[in-house]
């Protein structure tokens, strides 16, 4: 019975650790990691996209190191809203980010990626 209780306690600790460590909450170290995340968002969006698409994101970093989207510009309002919703309040880390600065990031999304995403 003592072994069963220890096993149950171990399972409870493991489960609580997994719930606390949220793997879906990525942290971005630099602009390249955000750029890759935007490409992933575009691939997984299931939106009908133009063959050549440029997305420009204006954002700042809050005191608690979270992305605060100011504007997303792509020519597709649904896509703008989707990207803004996906990036808002995501965590960043590292010494590259400065609070209060407005960052501009442009991502070119070509038809080769679109062909792969639409398979």
Residue 69 has pLDDT above 60, yes or no: yes
Confidence of residue 104 (pLDDT cuts 50, 70, 90): very high
Examine residue 31 and state whether it is found in any structural domain, yes or no: yes
Q: Report whether 34 contacts 42 (CB < 8 A).
A: no
7: in domain: no
pLDDT of residue 66: 92
**Does some domain include residue 13?**
no
The answer to whether the CB of 94 falls within 8 A of the CB of 29 is yes
Write down the mean pLDDT value for the chain: 76
Residue 66 within a domain? yes
Is residue 98 a contact partner of residue 61, using CB atoms and an 8 Å limit?
yes
pLDDT at 22: 44
Q: Which two tokens stand for residue 58?
A: 């204006």
Burial state string for 23-49 with b = 16 or more CB within 10 A and e = fewer than 16: eeeeebeeeeebbebbbebbeebeeeb
Better-scored residue on pLDDT, 25 or 52: 52
What residues make up the domain containing 33?
27-117
And the tokens for 53? Answer: 């698409």
- Say yes or no to pLDDT of 81 above 80: yes
If one counts the domains in the chain, the total is 1
State mean pLDDT over 8-17: 55
């Amino acid at each position: 019975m003592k072994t069963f209780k220890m096993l149950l306690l171990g399972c409870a600790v493991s489960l609580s650790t997994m719930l606390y460590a949220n793997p879906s909450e990525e942290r971005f170290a630099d602009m390249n990691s955000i750029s890759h995340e935007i490409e992933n968002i575009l691939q997984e969006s299931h939106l009908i996209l133009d063959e050549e698409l440029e997305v420009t994101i204006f954002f700042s970093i809050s005191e608690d190191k979270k992305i605060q989207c100011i504007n997303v510009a792509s020519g597709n309002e649904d896509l703008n809203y989707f990207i803004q919703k996906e990036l808002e309040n995501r965590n960043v880390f590292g010494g590259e980010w400065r609070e209060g600065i407005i960052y501009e990031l442009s991502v070119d999304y070509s038809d080769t990626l679109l062909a792969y995403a639409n398979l």
